Structure 1
Amino acid sequence: MMPRVTPALRATLLVLLVGLPAVPLLAATPTSADESVAEGIEHLQQRWAEIHYTLPKDEQATALEALAAKADRRVAAHPEAAGLQIWAGIVRSTQAGASGGLGALSLVKDARRDLEHALALDPLALDGSAYTSLGALYYQVPGWPLGFGDDDKAERYLKRALAIDPDGLDSLYFWGDYLHEQGRDTEARQALEKALQAPPRPGRERADAGRREEVRALLETLGT
């Protein structure tokens, strides 16, 4: 009786016949852990956009605090997932901006820790978003002695983000905002106009719409 030709056996026969590698012929099946990480990232993305772009300002800090706690639980369950670390950092840095006061500095330090951990795990995760977010922190946070802000570091991180995602809405927006902060408005306008041409991100319609409004608002401040 002929043996049943399984996918693995078929791949092996092809290797013997034509020298093709067997591994690429076998489709990778997502594990439950992979699915849990993807689900966690999607939840954090969606809820962050909802809070940041639709909630009243005076409600955002409390909502972001609750979301940061959820992000921490996701990270604890999947400490190897760079994407979850990135979103923990993004949520915490946004919480710092919404909260203000002395507690904000502690939050941005924690956000930096999350983002640096993400870089150590996978610098290319989420199209280099850790570089974008770290760059934003470094030019938005005050410098010594109040904080760790550093424009030179900000530029290095933002340029790395652009090298990974040269047409991304977020990478271009924060690069344009940084350039504006540096008084380089001609370059800022170029980056921001390019940001408006960024391709849409499936499933992130609310975030895209909100970010594009921020791009347009910044362009208006640049004048003609």
Structure 2
Amino acid sequence: MKLIKYISILGIFLVSISSNAQSKESFEKQLLLVQHSWAKIYYESSGDAQEDGFEQLENEIASLAKSFPNKAEAWIWHGIVQSSYAGAKGGLGALSLAKAAKKSFEKAIEIDGAAMLGSAYTSLGNLYHQVPGWPIGFGDDDDAKRFLEKSLKLNPDGLDSNYFYGQFMYDERNYKLANEYLLKARSAPERESRPLADQYRQEEVLTLLAKVDKKLRK
């Protein structure tokens, strides 16, 4: 009887492990699809097509975050899609999406701020930098700088962390620092799972480096 009970418990345990593994694999596959879709919509579409694409993708990532509420990565990408959708939508109507993105990034940080090498801090810092300040929005460059620097501590050699800090420094007219961090972004290691995003981001790095170079030559 004890042996039968032990085998039964072991069977339940193994089924649980298998189910968890399948769930993790399913989440990672779905998240990767979101990442690839985001890159194509963000970089390869415009106008109404881009706005419609982000609207659909926002529904998909919202569903994923609902299914995996304790996954910081889901909330990070929920925020990225929401903020990108806000950018595509434009105008004051985009502010509600920006606020929703802010909450998503904060949720991700609450769960695990180090997830995806601190991407929540990177995106939240950029959001604070891009959104208008009071009385229109919540934008604040002091908060932007603080979050972007936090992301650099977690991912000092990353493409996005260095690019967005370089962009911030360019806007702050600190061209020497902008150049320093953009060059670091230029030499960032490739992300095997995100070749399209890396390709276009590196093009953005080169474009901004050219602008920085002109400023430094004056």
Counterparts of 1:184-203 in structure 2 under 5 Å? Answer: 184-203=174-193
Q: Deviations over 1:93-141 (max 9, x none)?
A: 0111111022110000000000000000010111100000000001111
**C-alpha distance in 1, partners of 2:129/2:180?**
19
| Cα distance in structure 2, aligned partners of 1:175 and 1:196 | 13
Of residues 173, 185, 198 in structure 2, which corresponds to 1:183? 173
2:35 corresponding residue in structure 1: 45
**1:171 aligned to which of 161, 166, 173:** 161
Distance in 2 between the 1:133 and 1:149 partners? 13
Secondary structure of the corresponding residue to residue 135 of structure 2: coil
Letter in structure 2 aligned against 1:206: L
From 150, 163, 166, give the equivalent of 1:160.
150
Conserved? CA contact 1:115–1:134, under 8 Å: yes
Distance 1:169 1:63, change over 3 A: same
2:132 counterpart residue number: 142
Aligned to 1:56: 46
TM-score (norm: length of structure 1) = 0.85
Paired AA for residue 142 in structure 1:
P
- Counterparts of 1:149 and 1:108, CA distance in 2: 10
Q: Is the 8 A contact 1:37 1:81 kept in 2?
A: no
Alpha-carbon RMSD: 1.3
Matched to 1:96, the amino acid is A
5+ residue gaps in structure 2?
1-16
Larger Rg: 1
Structure 1 runs of 4+ off > 3 angstroms? none
Q: Which runs of 5+ in 1 are unaligned?
A: 1-27
CA distance in 1, matches of 2:34, 2:154: 22
Shift of 1:56: 3.1
Among 82, 104, 107, which residue is 1:114 paired with?
104
Contact kept in structure 2, 1:40 and 1:84, CA below 8 Å: no
Deviation string 1:54-103 (CA, Å, 9 cap, x unpaired) is 12344111100100000000011110110010000000101111110221
Match of 1:9 in 2: none
Query: Take 1:57 and 1:210, find their aligned partners in 2: how far apart are those partners?
Result: 18
Counterpart position of 2:71: 81
- Equivalent residues, number: 197
Q: Give the Cα–Cα distance (whole angstroms) in 1 for the partners of residues 154 and 46 of structure 2.
A: 34
Amino acid at match of 2:31: I
Deviation for aligned residue 1:193: 1.0
| Richer in helix (by share) | 2
| Aligned mate of 2:194, from 195, 204, 213 | 204
Please tell me the residue identity of whatever aligns with 2:199.
A
3-state SS, counterpart of residue 31 of structure 1:
helix
Secondary structure at the aligned position of 2:189 is classed as coil
Identity %: 44
